Structure 1
Amino acid sequence: MKEKKNHLYVDSQERSILLHSLVELKNQLIQHGRYTDCVDELIFKVVNAPIKRMKIEYV
């Protein structure tokens, strides 16, 4: 069975907020002595995600 893929489209401001919150979560996990592997993977994916230009029309 194929794994379902989800795509998330965010603008530069949302991307910045997402990165800051992931780093904050990582810092909290480190303070509690827990593993940060999954958060590290998410940070890596967000930083290296391709930028796709989209035109949005408001009605």
Structure 2
Amino acid sequence: MKNKKYYIALNDREYAEIISSLINKRNSLIRLGKYTDGVDEVIMKVRKAKNRNFQILYI
């Protein structure tokens, strides 16, 4: 079965809040001496995401 893709519509403020929260989480994991691989991957995915126009379907 093919995985379904989901898109999130974010404005600039929401995008900045997500990045800030992920960086804060990463810093807290570093302070605790834990691995940050998962958070690093999510930060990279959010940073590399392209701006796309898409149609919003209401169910």
Q: What TM-score results when the alignment is normalised by the length of structure 1?
A: 0.78
Other-structure match for 1:19: 19
Sequence identity (%): 39
Count residues with an aligned counterpart: 54
1:1-59 matches, cutoff 5 A: 1-53=1-53
Task: Give runs of ≥4 in structure 1 deviating > 4 Å.
Answer: none
Per-residue CA shift, 1:12-59, capped at 9, x if unaligned? 1100000000000000000001110010001001111001257xxxxx
Q: Structure 2 unaligned runs (5+)?
A: 55-59
Give the gaps of 5 or more residues in structure 1: 55-59
Instruction: Give the structure-2-normalised TM-score.
Output: 0.78
